[in-house]
A = this chain, B = another copy of it.
Amino acid sequence: MNFDHSEKSLALMEKLNKFMQEEIYPVESEYHDLVASNSNTWETPALMHSLKEKAREQGLWNLFLPEEYLPYGAGLTNLEYAPLCEIMGRVLWSSEVFNCSAPDTGNMEVLAKYGSDAQKQEYLVPLLEGQIRSAFAMTEPEVASSDATNIATSIVDKGDYYLINGRKWYTSGAMNNNCKILIVMGKTDPQAPRHSQQSQILVPIDTAGVTVVRPMSAMGYLDEPIGHAEVLFEDVKVPKTNLILGEGRGFEVAQGRLGPGRIHHCMRLIGCAQRALDLTCERVEQRIAFGQPLSKQQSVRESIAQMYCKIEQARLLTLKAADHMDKYGNKVAKNIIAAIKIVAPKMACEVIDEAIQIHGAAGTSQDTILSATLAYARTIRLADGPDQVHMMQLGKNLVVQQQGK
């Protein structure tokens, strides 16, 4: 047992931190302004492209893809990538600079793991190059998607092609101008056993019958230029070779992406929370109320101490999940992966909310990152399954395990 990062990790962290200091923080709010002032707010500003080039030159690129997918990706373990992911999480839009942003990371992992050679050539390579973006269409407005077996979009085998009909929403990334491909989850066989009904299929966004209906708001934010789309599929035809892995294996494919995806989300949120704490520690020295800096108030000190305790605990839990996923795989590590999904988003909500309270009006404004960050953290309490589903699963597992003792 050892609670310090390896030399390799520390060197990468230092390099990434340096890049953040030199290239990202200085343009953090400029980027938001560029997006907002764009005639098309769904277009990624040129600034992003130049930052991507710089990052790629420095080898800070595709850091998320582990060794098993070499030569794709940087070949880092989850445990090595995790602290980098935290650092990127400090600026909401910075992951894309390093080609490490959701949902592309999950999609690339799925393609690398389950894609056919043709699928890899057509979609994985340009994604790895950062030339296109992608989306994952899973959640549906009409059903409780927390129970993924409810997902109702139909994918019907018509002999020569699959015919897709359904309505998705919160398809993150699909609003972006550069989004070219969707991975869609839907039912190929409604009569099959519960966990064999679903399949995942590749649908180019410009296929006839695909309509991007509207951007969905996430706690008041449209998250331009990436966004979360409502997408309508009306008699959409795609070649049968677009199916990933095989009919009825949609859950298997979904499971494959979830482990690392959760660690990424959680580490990013830990970065958000740590940044909120850092900003708070600066703020409380500067603001004077009732005759002294806020930092002298015992209640403020207690808040700050609590924020630290919550962040550090969630961080260690997530790092352990990464370590165990590396060593033992998703399945063995399932309890702790469930645990981080329960813990980290809620922790981030609490910490950032407290930071807002201490910041006063500024905390609610566009002048700090806090309220946008809280919105992100809040939505992750629902994305990839609401807290309750993970607690259900974890609670169940623990009871079963105890009986086995």
Whether the Cβ atoms of B317 and A312 lie closer than 8 Å is: yes
Chain B residues lying within 8 Å of A284, measured Cβ to Cβ, are 399
Pick the residue among B139, B294, B306, B398 that contacts A144 (CB under 8 A). B294
Q: Which of A338-366 contact B (CB under 8 A)?
A: 338-339, 342-343, 353, 356-357, 360-366
Pick the residue among B5, B285, B343, B379 that contacts A364 (CB under 8 A). B379
Chain A contributes a number of interface residues (CB within 8 A of B) equal to 98
CA distance A374 to B220 in the complex (A): 10
Nearest opposing residue in chain B for A405, CB measure: B278
Q: Mark A307-325, 1 if CB is under 8 A from B, else 0.
A: 0110011101101100110
Nearest opposing residue in chain B for A6, CB measure: B1
Pick the residue among B3, B5, B353, B388 that contacts A320 (CB under 8 A). B3
Nearest opposing residue in chain B for A148, CB measure: B289
Spot the interface stretch: A48-56, A201-209, A389-397. A389-397
Given contacts A217-B364, A289-B146, A366-B216, whether A396 and B301 have CB atoms under 8 Å apart is yes
* Among A79, A290, A314, A405, residue most surrounded by chain B Cβ atoms (within 10 Å): A290
A160 within 8 A of B: no
Chain B residues lying within 8 Å of A277, measured Cβ to Cβ, are 398
A298 within 8 A of B: yes
Whether the Cβ atoms of A390 and B305 lie closer than 8 Å is: yes
A332 within 8 A of B: no
A141 within 8 A of B: yes
Interface residues of A (CB under 8 A from B): 1-6, 9, 79, 139, 141, 143-147, 150, 169-170, 216-221, 277-278, 281-282, 284-285, 287-290, 294-295, 297-306, 308-309, 312-314, 316-317, 319-320, 323-324, 327, 335-336, 338-339, 342-343, 353, 356-357, 360-367, 371-372, 374-375, 378-379, 381-382, 386-388, 390-392, 394-396, 398-399, 401-403, 405
The 3 closest A-B pairs by CB, nearest first: A301-B395, A220-B220, A281-B402
New contact pairs (13) apart from A1-B4, A304-B399, A309-B343, CB-CB < 8 Å: A144-B288, A170-B361, A217-B366, A219-B375, A299-B299, A299-B388, A303-B395, A304-B394, A304-B395, A313-B313, A361-B382, A364-B378, A364-B382
A–B pairs, 20, beta carbons within 8 Å: A1-B319, A2-B323, A146-B360, A150-B288, A219-B364, A219-B371, A219-B374, A220-B372, A277-B398, A282-B403, A284-B399, A301-B391, A301-B394, A301-B399, A303-B395, A305-B390, A305-B391, A305-B398, A312-B317, A316-B317
